[in-house]
C-alpha cells in the first residue's frame, strides 16, 4: 500500500512493470528516464546480469508534483522475467499500487505472455490482492516489428488472450521508439491515483 503522509502532505506510490522476459519492461523505464527529465527525481537503478538482463529489478523514482495539495511521488519498478527469479519477482511486487503488464507482441512469445500473467495473478493473490481489483493496464509492445514484416500478434488476439476477462485499458506501444510509453504510464497513474483516493476515503 502507498504511504500517505497527511502531515507532510505526501503520497508515495509504487508501480510495477510486469511481463515475460525480454518483452520491453526495462526499455519502458529507460525511455521514461531519458524523456521525462522533469518528472524524474533520481537515478535509474538497473540490476542486470549476463546479456543485460534484469537480475532483480529496475528502479526509477518520479515525481508528479502537487495533486490537490499533495506531493505525489511514484517509484517505478520492473521485475525480472526469467523463471528462475520467481522469488525476487514476487518480492518486487510487494505492496504494489498499480501495474503495467508489458506483453510481447511477437507471436513466438504468445504463450509466455499468458504464463506471466497467470504468475502475476498468483503472486498478487499470495499478497491478498485481486488481479481484478488492482489498477492494471496492458501494454502491447514491439508493435514496430510489424512494419518490418515480423510475425506479431494482432491487438485483437492479444486482447483475447490476456484481457478478455480483465477488461482493463490496453495500449499499443513501441518502447524502443518511445511510442505509447508515456500514454501507458499516464493511464496506469490515473487508475492508481483513483484507486488510492478511494482506498483513502474508505479508510478515513
Partner 1 sequence: MNVAVKIKTLLQEAELYRSQGLLKESIGKYRAAADILQKVDKVKNRDAYLEGIARKIRAVEKELDAFLNAPAAPEMTAAVQDLIKEKFAFAKDADSQPLEGAIALAKFGQYGRALEEFRSLLAKEPVKVAAAKNIIRCHISRESFDEGIEEFRQWDGDGLFSPQQLENLRVFFQGVLDKRGIEKTVEIAQSGAETFQEIESPELDLQLDQSDAGQEEELLDISSIGVLMEDGPQTGERVEFDVSFQSGKEISLLIPSREKGMIEHLRVGTKLNDIEFYSPFAMFQGAGIVTSNTKIATGPKRGDFSLDIKVTST
The yes or no reply on residue 192 touching Mg ion (CB under 5 A) is no
Q: To the nearest whole angstrom, how small is the minimum distance from the Cβ of residue 100 to partner 1? A: 18
Q: How far is CA 193 from CA 29, 122, 134, 204, in A?
A: 19, 24, 11, 16
Angle at 184 between CA 151 and CA 132, to 5 degrees: 95
The yes or no reply on residue 21 touching ligand GDP (CB under 6 A) is yes
Residues 21-80 that bind Mg ion (CB under 5 A): 25-26, 54
Q: Which three cell numbers stand for residue 129?
A: 490482492
The yes or no reply on residue 65 touching partner 1 (CB under 8 A) is no
The string of DSSP letters for 69-124 reads TEEEEEEEEE---SGGGHHHHHHHHTT--EEEEEEE-BGGGHHHHHHHHHHHHHHH
Binding-site size, Mg ion (CB under 5 A): 3
The yes or no reply on residue 108 touching partner 1 (CB under 8 A) is yes
Select from partner 1, ligand GDP, Mg ion, none the partner in contact with residue 10, using the beta carbon and a kind-dependent cut-off of 5 to 8 Å.
Answer: none
Residues of this chain that bind ligand GDP (CB under 6 A): 19, 21-27, 54, 78, 81, 102, 141-142, 144-145, 174-176
Amino acid at each position: 500500500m502507498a504511504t500517505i503522509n497527511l502531515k507532510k502532505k505526501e503520497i508515495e506510490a509504487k508501480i510495477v512493470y510486469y511481463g515475460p522476459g525480454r518483452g520491453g519492461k526495462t526499455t519502458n523505464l529507460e525511455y521514461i528516464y531519458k524523456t521525462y527529465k522533469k518528472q524524474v527525481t533520481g537515478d535509474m537503478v538497473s540490476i542486470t546480469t549476463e546479456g543485460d538482463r534484469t537480475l532483480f529489478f529496475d528502479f526509477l523514482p518520479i515525481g508528479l508534483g502537487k495533486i490537490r495539495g499533495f506531493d505525489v511521488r511514484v517509484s517505478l519498478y520492473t521485475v525480472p522475467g526469467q523463471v528462475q527469479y520467481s522469488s525476487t519477482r514476487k518480492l518486487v511486487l510487494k505492496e504494489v499500487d498499480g501495474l503495467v503488464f508489458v506483453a510481447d507482441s511477437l507471436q513466438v512469445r504468445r504463450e509466455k505472455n499468458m504464463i506471466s500473467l497467470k504468475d502475476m495473478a498468483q503472486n498478487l493473490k499470495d499478497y491478498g490482492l485481486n488481479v481484478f481489483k488492482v489498477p492494471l493496464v496492458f501494454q502491447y509492445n514491439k508493435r514496430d516489428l510489424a512494419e518490418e514484416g515480423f510475425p506479431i500478434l494482432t491487438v485483437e488476439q492479444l486482447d483475447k488472450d490476456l484481457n478478455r476477462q480483465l477488461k482493463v485499458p490496453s495500449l499499443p506501444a513501441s518502447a524502443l521508439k518511445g511510442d505509447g510509453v508515456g500514454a501507458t504510464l499516464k493511464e496506469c497513474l490515473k487508475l492508481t491515483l483513483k484507486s488510492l483516493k478511494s482506498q483513502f476515503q474508505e479508510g478515513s
